[in-house]
Structures are given as C-alpha cells and as structure tokens.
Amino acid sequence: MMELPEALTLARQVEETVRGARILAVSIAEKRPRFLFTNEDLGAYPQRLVGQRILHVGARGKWILAALDSGGTLAIGELFGRLRLVSSAEALPKTHHVVITFEDVGHLCVTIQAWGGVLALKPSELAEHPWLGRQGMSVLDPAFTASRFSELLGSDSAWARKPIKAFLVHEGNVRGIGNGYLQDILHRAKLSPKRKLSTLDRRERDRLHRAILDTMSSASERGGRDTEKDLFGAPGRYVPILDRRAAGTPCPDCGVLIEKISFLGGSCYVCPQCQPAP
C-alpha cells in the first residue's frame, strides 16, 4: 500500500512528467472494484479535468495532489494498487480502472488491487474532505519535533487510552504512516503495537519519535519499499526490517524469532523479546 515515502516518490515523478500538460480525456471502468473511491457524480471528471493543465504535483500523507489551472485538485491516494505512466505508443495495462490521458505525454493509469481513491475536487471540497482536509502534521515536516510529537501524544485524553498502532496510523494525528512502515518504526523504538499511549514515558516517546524520523526518512530517500513500484514499474530500494517475509526469521537485534500477530484489523510483525506485549 502507498504510504508517505511512496507518495513522495510518485508525486515527484508525476510532477516531472506531466507538469504543464493538458488533460485530454478521463475514463473510468464500468466494472469497478468496490473500494475504488470516486466522486459520487462520475460526470464531474470530464467537467472538472478535461482541458485543464497540471500546475504542480505534491504529496500529502498517503495522497498525491495535482493542482489544476482551474484551482481544483486531482487527488490520487490511499492506493492498494498501482499508479503507472504509459506512453501513447504503449498498450494500457491489462487491468486498469481509471485512465487520465495527457496531451503529448501519455496515459496515467490507476489499477486498484484492494482499494484506493481518485477524486476531482473543488477547493472547498478539498478543505472539507474527511480524509484530505483533516490530516495531522506530516512526519517529515521540520516542525515535527520531539517536543511537538510529545504534545500530540498527550493532547487528547481519549487517545491516551488507545494503543500506539491506532494513534500512528490515524491520519488525523500524524500523516503518512500506514501498517507497512509501522512495523519498522515500532521495532526500532522497541515498543509493542499494543502499548497504550498513557504508559509511554518521556524516554520512550523520544525513542518513538526518532524511530519515525529514521524509518520514514530512510524509506523516502530510497524511493519507498522494495515491495512497491514507482510510476515506471521500478521497485523501491527500502528493504523493511519487518514484514510478512520476516515472520519466523531471527530478529536482527536479539535473534529471537519474529512473530506474526493480528491486531486492530491487520497483521503486525513483532519481536516478542525486543517488543514485549503489555
């Protein structure tokens, strides 16, 4: 799934290839995955996108935002799938669900494997959107300091009773972290995903902050995880410490076997010795 490092890589590549290009057409497959999130009115896509030029492309959390000369935004994100650019001379991917055709560039193709969003938004809709308009601070923002992170952890008494995993993957708290990078962050911080925020002391909060920066910075510099692909089909160069491939293998720090557990609706990979359960 696309998280902040992948979104940054893809946004940079889209910016480099389609900035200034005019959108000629938009097509959305009639048979769409259940969890392809679109505008309710599919007629909004040709109305809002066709004829527009891309002014700038950036990343916000797990989303790629392309600013249009109309003032609107093309948003693609939360992708458990693929975003690929193919030239006008190439065949489209065998499976594709949204195709945006650009003048003199080619086709930007979205393929959904599980879920993802492709939205054409007006400025007011972007600001009010439940996912995009209500995000917390980016974990790679210079203002995301250890003291600021500590403040965020203690800013809401309701969150204090919840586990670390729930807090970190909620985009309203901090943006850009999903279940993929969460594994390495918590392993580096030597914390169980089940630990409640209220039980973290100052030293553990600082350690968690450092683990977030180290993991997300390293992954961003390497173009994302090696299990994800960029706009041209090349895999990222960040090899996770913990993912499904690590289950049953020795922990790189202590040698105890990595375990797979189910927690909060997803799989987590932990070292039972380095990350003891509460």
Task: Give the start-to-end residue ranges of the domains of the chain.
Answer: 4-128, 137-270
* pTM (predicted TM-score): 0.94
Its CATH class, for the domain covering 4-128, is alpha beta
Pairing assessment for the beta strands 106-121 and 36-37 based on DSSP bridges: parallel
Q: Which fold has domain 137-270?
A: Helicase, Ruva Protein; domain 3 (1.10.8)
Q: For residue 131, what pLDDT is reported? A: 84
Q: For residue 120, what pLDDT is reported? A: 97
Q: pLDDT below 50 — which residues of the chain?
A: none
Q: For residue 134, what pLDDT is reported? A: 84
Q: For residue 163, what pLDDT is reported? A: 96
Q: How far is CA 220 from CA 10, 15, 79, 254, 268, in A?
A: 11, 16, 17, 27, 22
Give me 71's structure tokens: 């003032």
